[in-house]
């Protein structure tokens, strides 16, 4: 007998985050761990969304790999650095998905047209499948038209980050900074009782059953609980790359 499929009520919502210019400060083809610097003020809203049961997932185009501007061996150290920076706020990522492709690249195995490079929704679809996320309940947050388009194509709501709205794109919301966008999402998604401990007895808003325990209960070192897989430097020539 066929088992019933998981309903959206049992799937986690997610916040999909662009990396460069959204989660971290903009850099031109960052290629070293020290190039990654978190945007100011993002720790508290990310922590609030994590407490409420949202998966936090990075989806990033990295055409520098296809162009030969970023070495493959640099990816794992950079994402370890990203984990360490977020762990200072006791925030955990549920996954990092990376597209290394560009059809005009210089590295043959990455120089292809693909279905994962944003604005294509391939990374969001893959992450939702891998992590059992409900796309209509999720958000895509980014600083470019391709981020908003990827979210729209995947069926998420979208938040555009930047000083001005962009012509030709209509996000669900627009804010000047990533911290403001994440705070607006948290205000929309978490009821007014969000200041109450969601794990306290009698809480009005229990977190999703798959939500992680509060960060205060998580070990600070290493940044993930023992046994959680760490990022891998292995890159594939087709499809998005999931680092952990």
Mean pLDDT, the chain, as a whole number? Answer: 81
Asked whether the CA dihedral 225, 48, 62, 103 is positive or negative, the reply is: positive
The pLDDT value given to residue 40:
96
DSSP SS3 for 15 = strand
Q: What is the mean pLDDT of residues 7-25?
A: 88
Active site residue 18: yes
**Residue 232 clears pLDDT 70, i.e. is over it:** no
Contact predicate 141/183, CB 8 Å = no
Confidence category of residue 178, pLDDT binned at 50, 70, 90? very high
**Residue 3 clears pLDDT 50, i.e. is over it:** no
Q: What is the mean pLDDT of residues 101-111?
A: 93
Q: What is the mean pLDDT of residues 45-56?
A: 97
| Higher local confidence (pLDDT), 231 or 156 | 156
**Residue 241 clears pLDDT 50, i.e. is over it:** yes
The tens digit of pLDDT for each residue in 113-124 reads 999 999 999 999
Q: What are phi and psi of 80, to 5 degrees?
A: -65, -40
**Residue 196 clears pLDDT 60, i.e. is over it:** no
Kindly report each contact of residues 180-184 with a partner whose C-beta sits within 8 Å and lies 24 or more positions away, as own/partner.
181/141, 182/15, 182/42, 182/45, 182/46, 182/49, 182/141, 183/44, 183/45, 184/159
Paired with 175 in beta bridges are 161
3-state helix, strand, coil in the chain (%, to 5): 30, 15, 55
- For 124, 158, 161, 166, 180, the CA distances from 173, given in Å and listed in that order, are 19, 7, 9, 12, 10
Confidence category of residue 131, pLDDT binned at 50, 70, 90? very high
The pLDDT value given to residue 28:
73
Paired with 12 in beta bridges are 133
Confidence category of residue 229, pLDDT binned at 50, 70, 90? very low
H helix count then E strand count, the chain: 6, 7
**Residue 146 clears pLDDT 60, i.e. is over it:** yes
d(CA 49, CA 182): 8
The tens digit of pLDDT for each residue in 79-103 reads 999 999 999 999 999 999 999 999 9
The pLDDT value given to residue 10:
77
Structure tokens at 85: 């920076």
| Higher local confidence (pLDDT), 243 or 177 | 177
**Residue 24 clears pLDDT 70, i.e. is over it:** yes
Query: Going by C-beta distance under 8 Å and a sequence separation of 6 or more, which residues neighbour residue 154?
Result: 121, 124, 125, 128, 135, 140
- Among residues 60, 150, 144, 143, which one has the least CA distance to residue 100? 60
């Amino acid at each position: 007998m066929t088992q019933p499929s998981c309903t959206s009520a049992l799937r986690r919502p997610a916040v999909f985050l662009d990396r460069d210019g959204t989660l971290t400060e903009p850099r031109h083809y960052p290629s070293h761990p020290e190039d990654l610097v978190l945007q100011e003020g993002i720790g508290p809203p990310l922590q609030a969304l994590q407490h409420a049961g949202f998966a936090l997932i990075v989806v990033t185009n990295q055409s520098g790999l296809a162009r030969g501007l970023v070495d493959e061996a640099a990816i794992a150290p950079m994402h370890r650095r990203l984990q360490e920076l977020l762990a200072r706020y006791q925030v955990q990522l549920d996954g990092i998905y990376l597209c290394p492709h560009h059809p005009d690249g210089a590295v043959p195995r990455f120089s292809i047209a693909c279905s994962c490079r944003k604005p294509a929704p391939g990374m969001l679809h893959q992450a939702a499948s891998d992590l059992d996320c409900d796309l209509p309940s999720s958000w895509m947050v980014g600083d470019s038209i391709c981020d908003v388009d990827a979210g729209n194509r995947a069926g998420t709501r979208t938040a555009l980050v930047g000083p001005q709205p962009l012509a030709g794109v209509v996000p669900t919301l627009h804010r000047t900074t990533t911290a403001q966008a994440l705070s607006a999402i948290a205000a929309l998604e978490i009821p007014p009782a969000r200041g109450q401990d969601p794990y306290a007895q009698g809480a009005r808003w229990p977190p999703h059953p798959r939500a992680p325990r509060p960060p205060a209960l998580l070990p600070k070192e290493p940044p993930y609980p023992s046994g959680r897989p760490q990022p891998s430097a292995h890159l594939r020539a087709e499809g998005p790359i999931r680092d952990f």
